[in-house]
Structure formats: C-alpha cells, structure tokens
Amino acid sequence: MTNDATRLFGLVGVAVASVTTGGDGNPMLALVTTDEQARCCPGCGVRSERPHSWVTTRPRDLPVAGRRTERTWNKRRWRCRQAACPRKTFTEALLQIPARARLTGRLRESAGAAVADLGRTVIQSARDHEISWPIAQAAFAAHAKEALPAVTPPVERLGIDEIRRGKAKFRLAATGDAWEVTADRWHVGFVDLRGGAGLLGQVEGRTAKTVSDWIDAQSESWRAGVRFVVIDMCTIFKSAVRASLPHAILVVDRFHIAQLANTALTEVRRRVTVQQRGRRGRNGNREWELRNRMTRSAAKVHADHLDPMVDDLNALPAKIGVPILAAWNAKEDLIDLLALMHTNPARTTIAHRLFRFYAACANSHLPELERLATTVQNWWPEIEAAIVSGVSNAGSEGTNRAIKTDARTAYGCRNPANQRLRARCATTRRSRGQLTTRTSGKHGQVR
C-alpha cells in the first residue's frame, strides 16, 4: 500500500491506511503492516501462516510537518507451530518499532542526536521530544556509542591537559579507618592537536598512573606514531610521558611559560608595595594603575603607551620603581625568547636571548626572578623543543573551553562518566561533520 500519506510518514514497514483529525486539531494516522518479515517468529525465525488475533498499539513518533501526530497501529498476533520453538504466539515487530516498544527507533535516534550532535542538554532534548530524562539519556548513550570511533585515531601531536570537574567526593572505606575518593575533582584529557580528531579520551584523576594507564591501553602502532607530546609545566604529565612514550619529543606550551613570567612580575610589584607603603596597592599608586599594562607584551603595546609607562616607573621611589622595572625587563626578555617560535631560529640566536634572560634575572637579585630562572633552567629541554618545533597546546586549551561551556549549559553533571561522554561528543563534532554551516546557499561551508 503506497500513497502520498505513507510517503510523507516515511516509516519503513508500515503504511498509512487513513488520516483523521482529532479533537485538538492534530492528525491521527491509522497504520497497517506491509513488511512480510514482520510475520517471522522472533524465537525460531520461521515465517508464520496462522493468525491468532489483532493487537492495537499507539507508538510515539516524531511530529509530522511540525504537528504532534497520534498513530494507531493495527497489527496481527501470530501462532508459531514449530515444536522446538519456545514461543507459542508473537506480535508483528519492525526494526523501527520493536515488540512492546512505546517509542519508535527514529524518535530515540533524534533525541540522542540532539545531545551528541546538536549541543543540547539531556533535559532539553527530553522536553523537545516529550520523553523522560532517563529515556533521553539512554538514547544519547546509544547514539554516542555508534557515533564515536571504537578505536582511538592515530595522532602525531598529542596534547595532555587537565580540567577541573568540581568538588571531590569521598566515602568511608570498608575498613572504617580511611576515606577513599569516589569522584575526583580533576579530569585529564588527551587531544589530537593536528589531525582534527578532537578529544581522544579522558581519565578521572590527575596522577601519573592514570595518564600512563590510558597511554599504555592504546595499541603499539598508535604509541609509535606519536612524535610530539605537549603539556603544561606539570611534573606528573612529564613522568607519565617519559615512562609510556620515551621516544616522543616532550614540549612545554609557551603560554604557561609567559604566565609564570607575568606571575613573577606581579609578585615583585605586590611585595615591594607592601614593604614600602605598608599596605596593598590602590588607586593613586602608579605601579598599581599600570599593573595590567605591564603584563602585556611590549611588542603589542603602542609606543605612545610604552614609553610613558617606563618613565612613570622610573619616576617612582627607587625602592619601588627599580625592582618592578627590573622584573618587567626580565619578563620581556623571556617573551622575546618565546617569540622565536615559528621563525626557524638559529641556535646562536636562541642561546643569545636565553643568556640575556638569565643575566637579567641574576643582576636583579630578586628572589622571584631567581626562582623563575631556575624553573626555566629545569624545563629548558622542553622549552627549547617548543621554540624549535613550533608546537603548542592551544588545541587542548580550546577543548577545555568547549568542555566547560558544555558543563555550564547543563548546570553541571552529577555522573563523571556521563560528563566525559558528553565532553567527547561536544569536542568531536567537527571531525564527525556535525557542525552547522557558516553561510547558507551554494556558498555554505562546514565549520
């Protein structure tokens, strides 16, 4: 039975016998079975020829033309005459409408895709599809299992970074004398920085063992294909990478190095202000008013603002202005060193700027700068690898931003496993081709 209403309804295996209008003005469809395979016994698979009775069901489905539509499916109950089959009777069932199903398969798929591919929350998808939260969550989990790759894609540049999930949760151990963690406050993510695969996976807990266990769980060919591993200045990640990926080049992201330099400058400014003024800085203290301008890179500040800033620091009392200006110059020397990335610098150029930074820290006699120079010295092989290779951890930081946005949209997630699944779906939409287009029409391009 093929008619226009059946084509519009578009559910394989059933046909629209009639269309009426309900009391609320919405259409009501009467469905009949057209698939002969629906008569096959689910126990033995043999097609039945003996009808038993009629059964009427009302499965929920997607709206038709934007209107809520009620469906009535009149189907047969059949007898199974096979002696070895445990089933004596059965009702007709389809792939989209299994036996005893109250929802069609495409309704569940739409609810799951709304969360995994369209960025909706579970409760929002449940409200839009008029289903309960547990059903929407189960549909999302089933859709994510099919959409996400079962095997971790190969990567050349691996980014590792942590993100704070929330407060840690504890429970009393069975022995009664200690507490054990049930939900850690940290999640560690592994990101493809070049191939476009997005978030490869997350583990709960920021320890070297959890990171090593995830890497060791991958195949030998996958581990051999990793050339660069980019981290922040975290010794936990460093020890895990050295143990699990000894052949990979370890790189420290330059953003965190510049952040340490600005932190050292801020500490110097606060310390000398308290020592000389007896209080914290406030409006009217020129070093406090220039605090944001000093933390910016001098290369990005116009000369009309840079030169007056240096003059104002020189005009301050010597015990305030001289240490702050020395810390600012050392910070700029380190920024100049990091600016050599993506320029294919010569070894002599790198060595010259590194020596200039060390000399500025040593001549300042400031404990904050001496500590900064020691940190740079301890991490210098990884910093030099970042300058030479030009690899950064920007992809991991962008992934963390997407994870935080998704968590804020959902007002937080109680279940860490569900949050990790949602985070991976939210950060792999580009690789799965599920992002919207920039423009409409023939010039539309996938983002």
How far apart CA 20 and CA 31 sit, in angstroms, is: 12
Both tokens assigned to 128? 């839009």
Does residue 304 register a pLDDT over 70?
Answer: yes
What is the band of 436 on the pLDDT scale with cuts at 50, 70, 90?
low
**How many CB atoms are located within 10 Å of the residue 274 CB?**
12
Which residue from 428, 434, 432, 408 is spatially nearest to 121, judged by alpha carbons? 408
d(CA 125, CA 136): 7
What does the longest C-alpha to C-alpha distance in the chain come to? 103
30-58 mean pLDDT? 90
Give 322's strand partners: none
Query: Tokens 């009309």, residue?
Result: 304
Note the pLDDT of residue 444.
56
Report the chain's mean pLDDT, rounded to a whole number. 90
Residue type, 14: V
Q: Where are the alpha helices (DSSP H) in 278-346?
A: 286-289, 291-294, 303-315, 318-338
What integer is the mean pLDDT of 154-182?
Answer: 85
For 210-243, write each residue's pLDDT tens digit: 999 999 999 999 999 999 999 999 999 999 999 9
Residue 446 has pLDDT above 80, yes or no: no
* Per-residue pLDDT tens over the stretch 402-429: 999 988 888 888 888 898 999 999 999 8
Rounded to whole angstroms, how far apart are CA atoms 415 and 392? Answer: 31
Residue 328, number of CB atoms within 10 A of its CB = 23
Residue 303: band (very low, low, confident or very high) from pLDDT cuts 50, 70, 90? confident
d(C-alpha 331, C-alpha 361), whole Å = 9
The domain locations on the chain are 1-101, 103-147, 158-251, 254-389
Q: What radius of gyration do the chain's Cα atoms show?
A: 32
Cα 255 from Cα 259, distance rounded (Å): 6
Q: In sequence order, what are the residues at sequence separation of 6 or more whose Cβ sits closer than 8 angstroms to the Cβ of residue 97? A: 11, 13, 14, 57, 59, 73, 104, 105
Beta bridge partners, 291, equal: none
Q: Which residue has the higher pLDDT, 162 or 181?
A: 162
